[in-house]
Amino acid sequence: MNKLLAGLIMILCVAPACAQRDVSDDGKTPFADRLYFGGGLGFSSGASNVGRYTYIGLYPIVGYMVTNQFSVGTTITYQYYDYPDQNYSLTQYGVSPFLRYNFGQVFAYTEYMILNTPSYDPGSKRMMYDRWLLGLGYRQPIGKRGAINVMGLYDVLYDPGDRVFTSPWVFRVFFSF
């Protein structure tokens, strides 16, 4: 039950939160009013087949609304894993430029993630991994600017032999404001 609760909290917090506002398509909206900032947090703790673990993730974003339908931006990723029973910890960091196009409450989304992580071989250097996520989402407005967003994404670069990412599928539920 603790794993299920921790997983649900992580899903709710991991994805980026995007501010929603109206911009004019004629270019009269100032640059600063087209920018939005947000982010997400992730946390998990418990036990797995390798012992106890703690996970902390930070995901700040900055985006730019080109039009009311189309926006571009990037997410910065910082993740910390600690395995005290193994006397091992690691940090991962990366960047994920994204594109989003709204069709009413449904939206198309793509992001290209570059993740830097230590190799699991002792004494080896850090390695770079990438994934290209494509998918669809649904936005349910809450109030003037808030929304609950649900996305299903597929990693078109997924390689099961890599073992870096455990699945080609990524599902996100997040709040925006």
Residue spans of beta strands (DSSP E) within 88-145: 88-103, 106-118, 126-142
Burial class (CB in 10 A: 0-12, 13-18, 19+), 1: exposed
Tens digits of pLDDT across the chain (177 residues) = 454 444 444 444 443 344 345 776 666 888 888 887 777 778 888 988 878 999 998 888 888 989 889 999 998 999 999 999 989 888 999 999 999 999 999 999 999 999 999 876 767 788 899 999 999 999 888 876 667 778 899 999 998 887 677 889 988 777 666
CB of 65 closer than 8 Å to CB of 37 = no
The pair of structure tokens assigned to 129 is 């991994």
Tell whether pTM > 0.85.
Answer: no
Backbone angles phi, psi at 27, to 5 degrees: 85, 10
The pair of structure tokens assigned to 157 is 């670069």
Q: Please enumerate in sequence order all residues whose Cβ is within 8 A of that of 39, keeping only pairs 6 or more positions apart, or say none.
A: 16, 17, 58, 59, 60, 61, 75
What angle (nearest 5°) sits at the alpha carbon of residue 175, between those of residues 15 and 17? Answer: 50
Among residues 137, 133, 144, which one has the least CA distance to residue 107?
137
Cα 81 to Cα 30, 38, 86, 105, 122, distances in angstroms: 41, 23, 12, 35, 16
Is residue 36 classed as helix, strand or coil in its secondary structure?
strand
Is residue 163 classed as helix, strand or coil in its secondary structure?
coil
CA distance 6 to 110: 26
